[in-house]
Amino acid sequence: MAKTQETAELWHRRFGHLSYGNLERLLAEKMVKGIQLQREELRAASGVTCEPCVLAKQHRLPFAASSSSSSHPCELLHMDVCGPMRVVAKRGKRYFATFLDDYSKLSVVYPLALKSEVAEAMQKVVALLEKQSGKKVKAVRNDRGGEYVNAELKKFFASNGIRHETTAPYTPQQNGATERLNRTLMERVRAMLNDSQREDSLWSEAVLTANYIHNRSPINSEQKTLWELFTVAAPDVSGMRVFGCIAYALVPKQLRHKLEPVSKKGIFVGYELGSKAYRILLDDTLKVIVSREVVF
């Protein structure tokens, strides 16, 4: 029987597609006997594409840190949707959308019952951020989910001169800023619910509170909070309270009789955005009210 001509490719296949570098080590360090090849042959073969290796071993390319950097608020907004959550929130919410300003890292959270509500939420948040910053949103970045890639938002972006950027399919790492934000918020939500020993159905209130706290927290590269980077004003945190703590909300005299208690007992579940007031979940009705007169 004729002897098979030995080649680098043959030994590569004989060794179950072992890398050529390791095959060369076998020769160089005399770990085996019987390979009739020169090391140079193995080095030369290492640059040849082996289709079975590609099909079996291909990995994702590493994601380098983004080199882009925004110079002012609203230049770029990152957006994402988290959910559906395992537990439906008290207000019927199953998802939450996050909106992250690339420059300041300030974020807005919007609880949703359905993903179809994303378009309305986005338009409201864009208007809010533009009003607060005095800047126009130039670009938004998100994945290719149908909640973002649709006729309604396409029209909204076009009419407002907003550039819409989408990630490559199945590549959430390209929008890693919101992925990290979602992880940070959910870690804080779990901690607050566990600390307060309150039911999981309060997660939507907790995630709004977690975001409120996040915006008033420092960022590694700056000696300012996210809030100050966006608004140019240091936040006043003297009114912050512990999530889930007992709270007594004053009942307006127009809503009670003279002999009724002047306050109702509940728990603190967050801060009312755009108002110096608290959100209180009442014990008797299990409804959330907004009040500025609260005893904790």
pLDDT confidence of residue 67: 47
What is the tens place of the pLDDT at every residue in 153-166?
A: 899 999 999 999 88
Query: Who wins on pLDDT, 111 or 69?
Result: 111
- The structure tokens 């309305």 sit at 120
* pLDDT above 90 coverage of the chain, percent: 42
pLDDT confidence of residue 159: 94
pLDDT of 145 > 80? The answer is no
pLDDT confidence of residue 173: 57
Q: Are 189 and 202 in contact (CB under 8 A)?
A: no
Return d(Cα 190, Cα 267) in angstroms, integer. Answer: 17
In this prediction the pTM is 0.75
What is the tens place of the pLDDT at every residue in 80-139?
A: 999 899 999 988 999 999 999 999 999 999 999 999 999 999 999 999 999 989 999 999
Return d(Cα 246, Cα 196) in angstroms, integer. Answer: 10
Distance from the first to the final alpha carbon of the chain: 93
183 CB contacts (<8 Å, ≥6 apart)? none
Q: Are 279 and 262 in contact (CB under 8 A)?
A: no
Rounded to an integer, the average pLDDT of 34-49 is: 85
pLDDT band of residue 75 (cuts 50, 70, 90) is very high
3-state DSSP assignment of residue 247: strand
| Token pair for 103 | 């420059």
What is the tens place of the pLDDT at every residue in 244-266?
A: 999 999 988 887 888 888 899 99
Using DSSP bridges, classify how beta strands 288-291 and 278-282 pair: parallel, antiparallel or unpaired: antiparallel
Return d(Cα 113, Cα 39) in angstroms, integer. Answer: 64
234 CB contacts (<8 Å, ≥6 apart)? 224, 225, 227, 228
Residue 145 main-chain phi, psi, to 5 deg: -60, 150
Task: Dump strand ranges (E) for 102-218.
Answer: 107-112, 139-142, 163-166
Degrees (nearest 5) of the Cα angle 122, 171, 89?
45
3-state helix, strand, coil in the chain (%, to 5): 35, 20, 45
Rounded to an integer, the average pLDDT of 68-79 is: 85
pLDDT of 78 > 50? The answer is yes
* For residue 111, cis peptide bond before it (omega within 30 degrees of 0): no
Return d(Cα 105, Cα 181) in angstroms, integer. Answer: 9
Strand order of the sheet with strand 107-112? Answer: 107-112, 95-101, 76-82, 139-142, 163-166
Q: Within 10 Å of residue 109's Cβ, how many Cβ atoms?
A: 25
DSSP class of 148: T
Query: Who wins on pLDDT, 147 or 247?
Result: 247
The listed range with the strongest mean pLDDT (168-177, 218-227, 241-250) is 241-250
Q: Which amino acid is at 92?
A: G
- Mean model confidence pLDDT for the chain: 86
Radius of gyration over alpha carbons of the chain, in Å?
29
